[in-house]
Chain A
């Protein structure tokens, strides 16, 4: 067995340049698939990982929400909130009154989302993950005080806004009591929102319509059931069907994962094209090698080689090239994944880790071998089927 490896190895070595080009072809194909999958996993994790921390949340909105689009059908009222709070398994429910308001800071004006919250509900809305960076949380007895998102503090106005600065919201002066930590990702809307007390919101926005209720459940396992019950209760209050949509974070995560799986599949399909090209490369190299060695094949058969001796020699050759290609592909893929990850980090300021799963690397090598053997099969069969006299005669 060892000897046939040596024989195949010697044949490969005789054609160094061509073999290494073929090998690179496979390596690049495998590397592309591995890099894309690893970055894809990293992307998925950085998004869903953040969501998993909020898995006990249910977002209740008046309207049809589906990923990507949301159609607001109206708003909730105090009674809805009270009803939601009374549902078993609900730990806390927080209402948000929100609206777009003109905000002015040192002469600059923009329109921004202003959200009124009951200060006792801060943890229900923000969960454990949103922390006040500078300053403090909003308090119930605060008057004309606000908490601002990271982007508002740093990006929206030419001059940065800090704790104790004053901004003008809807014509009233507010004092900034705290700046929230940067969220980014799925919760980037927090970064560009201004939070004020419910009382202030009612007077500034001029209404007390509730735009969203955030519910925190005791047991994540019950979230779906509770969400359904919330929808029923509020729909009943408003005598409407399908008015309320209560989305659990869990289902959002599932939806996102589906999207990522799809995305991965598309990326891998694209990367696979290079694998197909690589396999044509192997086939070509092997066919040329078979052609060149027709005479040699004839000699081997004349001195007693069986078809399968010849077949295994050529298959082994393409197999060895493709294993080497697969291993190089893994190395390139690891490097590539990290380069892409660092590149994304540099370009978008959002670090996406490259997650290199051992099964993906192993899969890469397995795929390389399959591709190699499959594309080596035809040339090898061709070689093995040659007639000994004709092959020997061939020069």
Chain B
């Protein structure tokens, strides 16, 4: 499903070069539930950004469904982000001026889905994450856990095969965190979606059948 080959990323800050990823080769099967753990600064977010086509590696390649993403144009990358991957952020990253429903409908808007169909699906997805009653609320009127559920619904809106979460439970209490992991587990078990989550929390990582450890930009043995 997703494969990386000798992936490395070097951030350049003026004179100083910061190697964030070093020669990461990784294979993730379709329908897997993978947790990535590791200390702060070990390169987890950097890796996820590559996997989610949000950023480009310095060297090496990311293959999604067999396609080398290094060869794709910006538009094609945008299409992959839109159709194949749902990204969930630690900071929720909802658009403040839009309601929960509109936030969830936005990726479908970019995909050219008709307004009626968009609204219908967005409402269904919000119901699925337990926010039927909060559809017309703005993010500022929702709790952290609720906002993250909106973000999950948004990630699902174009029905992607892969859901990527960068510490999706990092900004919520542990109880809410469990609930969010429960939703992700359901998406994996019941719908066969591939789930990749970064977490600090070993308890959260315990939800995942496969756990990868990172240190100093390298993968440690599993």
Instruction: Show the binding face of A for B, using Cβ within 8 Å.
Output: 2-4, 10-11, 14, 295-296, 298-309, 387-389, 392
Quick check: A304 and B81 within 8 Å, CB to CB? Answer: yes
Quick check: A306 and B75 within 8 Å, CB to CB? Answer: yes
Within 8 Å of chain A (Cβ to Cβ): is B158? yes
Quick check: A387 and B106 within 8 Å, CB to CB? Answer: no
Chain A residues, Cβ within 8 Å of B49: 389
Chain B residues, Cβ within 8 Å of A304: 78-79, 81-83, 107, 110-111, 158
Alpha-carbon gap, A308 to B55, bound state (A) = 18
Alpha-carbon gap, A305 to B54, bound state (A) = 12
Known A-B contacts A303-B106, A392-B54; A11 and B93 likewise in contact (beta carbons under 8 Å)? no
Residue in chain A with minimal CB distance to B106: A303
List 21 A–B pairs whose Cβ atoms lie within 8 Å, in order of A's numbering: A3-B109, A10-B97, A10-B98, A14-B97, A299-B93, A300-B110, A301-B81, A302-B54, A303-B81, A303-B107, A303-B154, A304-B78, A304-B110, A304-B158, A306-B75, A306-B79, A307-B78, A388-B54, A388-B55, A388-B81, A392-B93
Chain B residues, Cβ within 8 Å of A392: 54, 89, 93
Contact of B106 among A295, A300, A388 (CB under 8 A): A300
Number of interface residues of B (CB under 8 A): 28
Quick check: A307 and B74 within 8 Å, CB to CB? Answer: yes
Alpha-carbon gap, A10 to B99, bound state (A) = 12
Quick check: B55 and A387 within 8 Å, CB to CB? Answer: yes
Chain B residues, Cβ within 8 Å of A295: 93
Instruction: Show the binding face of B for A, using Cβ within 8 Å.
Output: 49, 52, 54-55, 74-75, 78-79, 81-83, 87, 89, 93-98, 106-107, 109-111, 115, 154-155, 158
Quick check: B75 and A302 within 8 Å, CB to CB? Answer: no
A-B contacts counted at CB < 8 A amount to 66
Alpha-carbon gap, A2 to B116, bound state (A) = 12
Chain A residues, Cβ within 8 Å of B158: 304
Quick check: B55 and A307 within 8 Å, CB to CB? Answer: no
Alpha-carbon gap, A292 to B96, bound state (A) = 13
Alpha-carbon gap, A3 to B114, bound state (A) = 10
Chain B residues, Cβ within 8 Å of A301: 78, 81
Alpha-carbon gap, A241 to B111, bound state (A) = 82
Known A-B contacts A302-B54, A388-B55, A389-B49; A11 and B82 likewise in contact (beta carbons under 8 Å)? no
Which of A14, A305, A308, A309 has most B Cβ within 10 Å?
A305
Chain A residues, Cβ within 8 Å of B98: 10
Quick check: A389 and B54 within 8 Å, CB to CB? Answer: yes
Residue in chain A with minimal CB distance to B85: A304
Quick check: B115 and A303 within 8 Å, CB to CB? Answer: no
Sorted nearest first, the 3 A-B pairs with minimum C-beta distance are A304-B82, A306-B78, A389-B55
Quick check: A307 and B75 within 8 Å, CB to CB? Answer: yes
Which of A14, A300, A303 has most B Cβ within 10 Å?
A303
Which of A11, A387, A388 has most B Cβ within 10 Å?
A388
